[in-house]
Amino acid sequence: MGYLLGIDVGTTRTAAAVIGSGTVEMVTLGDHSVDIPSVVYVAPDGSLLFGDAAERRALTEPDRVAREFKRRIGDPTPIPLGERSFAPEQLSALLAEHVVDVVARTEGGVPDRIAVTHPASWGSHKCDLFAAALAERGLTVTFLTEPQAAALHYATNERVEPGATVAVYDLGGGTFDAAVVRKEAAGGGFTLLGRPEGVEQLGGADFDQAVVDHVRDAVPAAFEGLDETDPNVLSAMARLRRDCREAKESLSSDTEVSIPVWLGEVRTTVRLHRSDFEERIRPRLEESVEALQRAIASAGLAASGPSVVLLVGGSSRVPLVAELVSSGLGRPVQVDADPKNTIAKGAVVALGPADRCPAPARAGSAPCPRAAAPRWPPTPARCRGRTPTRSPTGCRPAARPGSTGTAPPTSRVPARTRPPTGSPPCHRSATTRPPCTATAGTGATTTARPPSPPSRRPPAAPPPC
Instruction: Say whether both 9 and 157 belong to one domain.
Output: yes
Which structural domain range is residue 253 located in?
204-276
User: In angstroms, rounded to a whole number, what is the distance separating the alpha carbons of residues 244 and 212?
Assistant: 6
Instruction: Say whether both 31 and 99 belong to one domain.
Output: yes
Q: Is 394 within a domain?
A: yes
Instruction: Give the chain's count of helices (H) and strands (E).
Output: 9, 18
Picking from 276, 296, 317, the residue at the C-terminal end of a domain is: 276
Picking from 248, 276, 304, the residue at the C-terminal end of a domain is: 276
Query: What are the Cα distances from residue 137, in Å, to 106, 132, 339, 439, 463?
Result: 20, 9, 29, 25, 35
Instruction: Say whether both 212 and 122 belong to one domain.
Output: no
Number of structural domains the chain divides into: 2
Q: Residue 118's domain is classified under what CATH number?
A: 3.30.420.40
Single-letter residue type at 319: P
User: In angstroms, rounded to a whole number, what is the distance separating the alpha carbons of residues 241 and 176?
Assistant: 22
Number of other CB atoms surrounding residue 341 within 10 Å:
22
Q: What is the pTM of this model?
A: 0.72
Q: Is 443 within a domain?
A: no
> Closest by alpha carbon to 4, among 372, 352, 342, 345?
352
> Closest by alpha carbon to 139, among 445, 444, 410?
445
pLDDT attached to residue 13: 92
Q: Residue 254's domain is classified under what CATH number?
A: 3.90.640.10
Per-residue pLDDT of the chain (465 residues; tens, 9 = 90+): 689 999 999 999 999 999 987 789 999 999 888 999 999 999 999 999 999 999 999 888 888 999 999 989 999 999 999 899 999 999 999 999 999 999 999 999 999 999 999 988 888 999 999 999 999 999 999 999 898 899 999 888 888 889 899 999 999 888 888 999 999 887 778 888 989 888 878 889 899 999 999 999 999 999 988 887 788 888 899 899 999 999 999 999 999 999 999 998 899 999 999 999 999 999 999 999 999 999 999 998 865 688 889 999 889 989 999 999 999 888 888 887 778 899 999 999 999 764 433 322 222 222 223 333 333 232 333 333 333 333 333 344 444 444 433 333 333 344 333 334 343 333 333 333 333 433 334 344 443 344 444 444 444 444 443
Instruction: Say whether both 238 and 359 belong to one domain.
Output: no
Q: Is 83 within a domain?
A: yes
What strands lie across the sheet with 165-171, from one edge to the other? Answer: 190-199, 176-183, 165-171, 308-312, 334-335
Number of other CB atoms surrounding residue 406 within 10 Å:
14
Instruction: Say whether both 251 and 128 belong to one domain.
Output: no
CB 175 within 8 A of CB 193: no
Instruction: Say whether both 75 and 147 belong to one domain.
Output: yes
Instruction: Say whether both 19 and 155 belong to one domain.
Output: yes
Instruction: Say whether both 231 and 157 belong to one domain.
Output: no
User: In angstroms, rounded to a whole number, what is the distance separating the alpha carbons of residues 152 and 441?
Assistant: 9
Q: Is 186 within a domain?
A: no
Query: What are the Cα distances from residue 196, in Å, to 116, 201, 436?
Result: 18, 16, 11
Q: Is 364 within a domain?
A: yes
Picking from 276, 295, 330, the residue at the C-terminal end of a domain is: 276
Instruction: Say whether both 154 and 209 belong to one domain.
Output: no
Q: Is 314 within a domain?
A: no
Instruction: Say whether both 152 and 17 belong to one domain.
Output: yes
Instruction: Say whether both 124 and 16 belong to one domain.
Output: yes
57 Ramachandran zone, left/alpha/beta (phi>0; psi -120 to 50): alpha
Instruction: Say whether both 210 and 107 belong to one domain.
Output: no
pLDDT attached to residue 122: 86
Q: Is 298 within a domain?
A: no
Got the DSSP string for 61-127? -GGGEEESGGGGTT--S-EEETTEEE-HHHHHHHHHHHHHHHHHHHHTS--SEEEEEE-TT--HHHH
pLDDT in tens, 107-122: 999 999 999 999 888 8
User: In angstroms, rounded to a whole number, what is the distance separating the alpha carbons of residues 172 and 248?
Assistant: 14
pLDDT attached to residue 302: 65
Q: Is 44 within a domain?
A: yes
